[in-house]
A and B are shown apart, each in its own frame.
Chain A
């Protein structure tokens, strides 16, 4: 995104950069522009804050464990295959 002379940007443009911002993949200049926007725009501030927290929550919750029975059947099957080779 071209950030020259871009002091004010719309919520739509801010939202388009949400993921990159959360992943810390935006330029310093764009980061400042986005942060200026979210400082005065309550809605975008909530969306940015909750999205950042959500990404962390998803990672920390360690979803989708392999069920023990599924894991056990995998090793049994692999043992068969490996012993054939």
Chain B
């Protein structure tokens, strides 16, 4: 389904693309703005949540985003997609909000460098995760893993892999260059893979687990004996 396609055929402006709806709002038909909000509320919420990390702040940022978009709608000239324009506003609103609370919370954006080298898990995943966990549980696992990422990684991952924006659009919305976006996306995906791997890897056969446990035990004994000998 492309941008501007309507989910609900009973909606005002159904079948019209975003640009046409914007024109109708600008012409005074404010009901069409609600249709735009319905189409994009989930994306705006996800983007705000990706930047801010909690629902309360994301809600505020979402409200401010749509109010600002409504008040500045005449500035949208259709040069980029409405989605990109709106996402840019959402990112800016969320960043401003985060800036305002910066003295209250410790931030982890500086974690771009210095994490553990990736990847570290090399076991295949179970063939059908949904059979193992069910759809709701998979969603919960995915949400928890995404929320655990540092904001700079969470933002690119949500725009690219949840909202399916192109690299160019996501970079424009975040105000960064495409190579920076791609490099963060690679890292974000690798971190998320590690995190989800813990739940989704195929259980190893008992024999392999026994060998691994024996090796760990031997190493621990060695360490203990070495320390004891050093006393």
Q: Is A40's beta carbon under 8 Å from chain B? A: no
Contact assessment for A85 and B161 in the assembled complex, using a CB-CB cutoff below 8 Å? no
Tally the A-B contacts, defined by beta carbons under 8 Å.
109
Bound CA span A66–B59, Å: 9
- Interface residues of B, count at CB 8 A: 44
A39-78 vs B, Cβ < 8 Å mask (1 yes, 0 no): 0001100110111011101110111111100110111011
Residue of B with least CB distance to A11: B119
The secondary-structure label for the interface of chain B is helix
25 pairs of residues in contact across A and B, judged by CB atoms under 8 Å: A16-B186, A22-B189, A46-B124, A47-B119, A47-B193, A50-B200, A54-B193, A57-B142, A57-B196, A58-B142, A58-B161, A61-B135, A61-B142, A62-B139, A64-B42, A66-B41, A66-B62, A70-B59, A71-B41, A74-B59, A74-B66, A77-B63, A77-B67, A78-B66, A82-B70
Q: Which residue of A lies closest to B46 (CB)?
A: A64
Kindly state the separation between the CA atoms of A66 and B142 in the bound complex, as whole angstroms.
16
Residues of B within 8 A of A82 (CB): 30, 33-34, 70
Contact A51 B122 (CB under 8 A): no
Q: Interface range on chain A: under 10, 10 to 19, 20 to 34, or 35 or more?
A: 35 or more
**Counting CB contacts under 8 A, is B185 at the interface?**
yes
Interface presence of B164 (CB below 8 A): yes
Option from A43, A51, A67, A81 in Cβ contact (under 8 Å) with B193: A51
Q: Is B82 an interface residue (CB 8 A)?
A: no
With beta carbons under 8 angstroms apart, the residue of A73, A78, A81 that contacts B59 is A73
For window 23-81 of chain B, which residues contact chain A by CB distance below 8 Å?
Answer: 30, 33-34, 37, 41-42, 45-46, 49, 55, 59, 62-63, 66-67, 70
Q: Name which residue of chain B comes closest to A53, CB basis.
A: B125
- Point out the residues of chain A lying under 8 angstroms from B189, CB to CB: 18-19, 22, 51, 54-55
Measured in the bound complex, the distance between the Cα atoms of B209 and A4 in whole Å is 43
